[in-house]
Amino acid sequence: MKKIQISPSILSADFSQLGKEIKRLEDGGADFIHVDVMDGHFVPNLTIGPPVIKALKKNCSIKFDVHLMISPVHKYIEAYSDAGADIITIHPEATNNLSDSISKIKELKKKAGVSLNPETKVEVIKDYLDQIDLVLIMSVNPGFGGQKFMPEVLDKIKELKKIQKDRNIDFDIEIDGGINFENSKIAIEAGANILVSGTTIFKSNNGDIKKNIDTLKSS
């Protein structure tokens, strides 16, 4: 079994203190910094772009796990790579050619991820699983933090684990959306090895980030 890693979502951080918030995550034992990039078009919210990521990355040694919820995504991949993204995750619905977009990420020497919204089936990415480093399972409809976890998506994680075994391929399985101390256990049991969490990490236990990260890791 892979080591459980935590990728805190800065969507739940204090945006007026983002640099300090990322330092708190680093000190608290985060494995990645999860950055949700939204364009107000692919999803109904607007967040941050390459200049903010570039500024934040300067003083951070943790890898940036950048989830691009933008369409069309292909033409923006290089900008986010240049800004400092270490993992670039895209949605199959946001590109005209998923294979080309994955190849573009790989050419830039970044890890390539593909995200599945709650209604998107594993079948959509089955032919690409040997090309990618990570599958991000959305357990809420993307767009806003603080939503309720959708347990039905766990079946997709189990399906991916079976494919890994049957085809002898390896990739990380990340889950994002409403992850807390209760449902993190069932997500890990299903086969997820990277947990994205925002509200739980920043708000639980009076904002004790280290305690919250440690608790999620030991689910």
Please, which residues have CB within 8 angstroms of residue 145's CB and are 6 or more apart in sequence? Answer: 9, 11, 12, 36, 198, 199
- CB 99, CB 68: distance < 8 Å: no
CATH number at residue 147: 3.20.20.70
Q: Within 10 A of 218 (CB to CB), how many other CB atoms are there?
A: 11
**Confidence check: pLDDT of 46 > 90:** no
* pLDDT value at 18 more than 70: yes
Confidence of residue 145 (pLDDT cuts 50, 70, 90): low
What letter represents residue 79's amino acid?
A
pLDDT in tens, 184-212: 999 999 999 999 999 999 999 999 999 99
User: Is residue 37 within 8 Å of 43, Cβ to Cβ?
Assistant: no
Tally of domains within the chain:
1
For residues 121-147, average pLDDT = 92
Q: What is the average per-residue pLDDT within 37-48?
A: 91
Name the catalytic one among 31, 39, 133, 176.
176
Average pLDDT, the chain: 96
Quote the domain boundaries for residue 140: 5-217
Average pLDDT over residues 127-144: 93
Q: For the residues 92-117, what does the mean pLDDT come to?
A: 98
Half-sphere exposure of 45 (CA within 13 A, CB side): 13
**How much is the average pLDDT of 154-168?**
98
Q: What would the DSSP string read from start to end of the chain?
A: -PPPEEEEBGGGS-GGGHHHHHHHHHHTT-SEEEEEEEBSSSSS-B---HHHHHHHHTT--SEEEEEEE-SS-GGGHHHHHHHT-SEEEE-GGG-S-HHHHHHHHHHTT-EEEEEE-TT--GGGGGGGTTT-SEEEEESS-TT-SSPPP-GGGHHHHHHHHHHHHHHT---EEEEESS--TTHHHHHHHHT--EEEESHHHHHGGGG-HHHHHHHHHT-
Which listed residue (27, 31, 36, 155) is catalytic? 36
Query: Which residues lie across from 9 on neighbouring strands?
Result: 34
Q: Which of 39-43, 132-136, 160-164 is predicted with the least confidence, judged by mean pLDDT? A: 39-43
Q: Is 155 a catalytic residue?
A: no
pLDDT band (50, 70, 90) for residue 161: very high
**What's the pLDDT at 1?**
75
Report the percentage of the chain scoring pLDDT > 70.
99
Six token digits for residue 219: 């689910």
Q: What gap in Å lies between CA 79 and CA 96, rounded to an integer?
A: 18
Reported as a single tens digit per residue, the pLDDT across 67-83 is 999 999 999 999 999 99
Active site residue 36: yes
